[in-house]
Amino acid sequence: MISLSKIVIVGAVGGGATVAGQIRFYDKNAEITIFDRDSTMSYAACGTPYAIGNVIEDPSSLLMTDPQQFKKERNINVFLKHEVLEIQRDNKQLLVKDLNTGKQFTESYDTLILAPGGSAMVPEIEGLDSAKVFVLRSYDDMQKISKFIDVNNPASCVISGAGFIGLEMAENLKALGLKVQLVHKSGQVMSILDSDISQLIEAELQANEVQLFKETVITKADSASVELSNGMRLQADFIIMSIGIKPNTELAEKAGLPIGETGGIMTNEFMQTIDPSIFALGDASENTDMVTGDPKRVPLAWPAHRQAFLIAQYLTGNAIPKKGLLGTSVVKIFSLTVAMTGLNERTIKNKGISYKTVIHRGNSNAGYYPDHAKITLKVHYDSASRKILGAQCIGGKGVDKRIDVLVTAIYAGLTIDDLQALELSYAPPYSSPKDPINMAGYKAFSK
């Protein structure tokens, strides 16, 4: 346990606000201060596409708390519109700028926690300054997009990037009646998936009249259109850039904290940097892969919240080492849900791992029950140890619970054969006597 007399946190969204709250839960006396350059804190960033699409009717419901409430309920000081410019490690001080007044001041710390998140990448494109271009990384970004749509009543949009945000925005903008055109540099959408699973997503996009342009990028833009590297010109009343996230590591780099091969701040098993008084978590931190032990960075909500708990436990005298990340994720794409965990086929091959794959195509629940859907479950496993390496599932319902079972199986070290023996809940509205998870185990066993 290290001194908790004064803790300063950089970043007030998911990871930063959560680690502050966790520390306060376990320690009632520590002085805790948070700085963030944004104007809002602790909002549900994952809900912003659905607020833009009016699925979430009240966008303010995404705001979990504010500085006044945090101070009143938890005695934690939060300063928004304040940017930390420099970490002075030798004397344990920060140089902070008040973005409202422009004034700079120093703030001391005993323990520093970095939760700076990441920033949306925007490439240099000819004419982009004359176009209406948006990113979606903050509550303010969401408000800007919604206001533009409400005021200008646009007819068309080009989305650059077919990852999580790009696909969620495609669905929600289509629901608003816009012509949606999705431009993607890769040869498949959601490049983290196996190609056969991605093809099912592409078919769903086509069925919902989202135009998809693969293996191309935007090369020119103006106020009404974009030109692609394949020579095509698309109408675009506005553009959503969702080509990727760059971790905000500049502050750590300036302070001499090592950056790992994934681009995140290097941390040990307790989320500690090389400086024992400085920790890092969330989108900007580098972790390890649970399956391979290799460096891994997962810019998603679950890892940030877990890391916040681990840091709070370490600081309050109950050190729990992290066990690596699987990169478990799920996304809704019109009528489909797609989820994954662990290694995809491309990564397994690149690592030179000897593996086998089992695929089960069936129903989410009893086929005679009126509310059922088709699902495809794909599981990769080690040929020798038969340990599960990774899995993907896509379909109309029940996808998330199958992946969640497989996450548990990987964490527990189960083999593909153990899936036969899992006594999973069954009733016709929910599953079948032999669940798709069981079926994957039986199919692998018969091989």
Pairing of strands 388-395, 336-342: antiparallel
How many angstroms separate the CA atoms of 131 and 416, rounded? 51
Residue 447 pLDDT: 62
Average pLDDT, the chain: 96
Known active-site residue 46: yes
Q: How confident is the model at residue 374 (pLDDT cuts 50, 70, 90)?
A: very high
Mean pLDDT (whole number) for 2-27: 90
Asked if residue 153 has pLDDT above 80, the reply is yes
Q: Give me the percent of the chain exceeding a pLDDT of 70.
A: 99
Query: CA 281, CA 304: separation in Å to the nearest integer?
Result: 6
| Residue 116, pLDDT above cutoff 60 | yes
Q: Is the pLDDT assigned to residue 65 strictly greater than 90? A: yes
Q: Give Dmax over CA atoms of the chain in angstroms.
A: 70
Assess whether pLDDT exceeds 50 at residue 237: yes
Cα distances from 246 to residues 27, 97, 119, 264, 343, in angstroms, run 33, 22, 5, 9, 22
In this prediction, residues 121-134 reach a mean pLDDT of 95
Confidence at residue 446, expressed as pLDDT on a 0 to 100 scale: 73
Find all residues with CB under 8 Å of 57, minimum gap 6, and list them. none
14-26 helix and 67-74 helix, angle to the nearest 10 degrees: 10
Pairing of β 336-342 and β 329-333: antiparallel
Q: For residue 2, is pLDDT > 70? A: no
In angstroms, how far is the first alpha carbon of the chain from the final one? 51
In this predicted structure, the answer to whether residue 3 has a pLDDT above a threshold of 60 is: no
- What average pLDDT does the segment 163-187 reach? 97
- Whether the predicted pLDDT of 11 surpasses 90: yes
Write the pLDDT tens digit of every residue in 333-362: 999 999 999 999 999 999 999 999 999 999
Tokens of 110: 């005993």
Determine the average pLDDT of the residues in 226-253: 97
Q: How confident is the model at residue 227 (pLDDT cuts 50, 70, 90)?
A: very high
* Residue 299 scores a pLDDT above 60: yes
Cα distance between residue 294 and residue 239, in whole Å: 36
Six token digits for residue 314: 């370490």
DSSP string of 40-104?
--SB-GGGHHHHHTTSSS-GGGGB---HHHHHHHH--EEEESEEEEEEEGGGTEEEEEETTT--E
Rounded Cα distance, 280 and 298, in Å: 13
Dihedral (C-alpha) 311, 316, 317, 323: value to the nearest 10 degrees?
-20
Q: 14: pLDDT confidence band, cut at 50, 70 and 90?
A: confident
CA distance 317 to 341: 32
**Domains parsed from the chain with CATH numbers:** 6-119+246-315 (3.50.50.60), 122-243 (3.50.50.60), 335-446 (3.30.390.30)
Q: What is the pLDDT of residue 4?
A: 61
Set 46, 56, 63, 424: catalytic member: 46
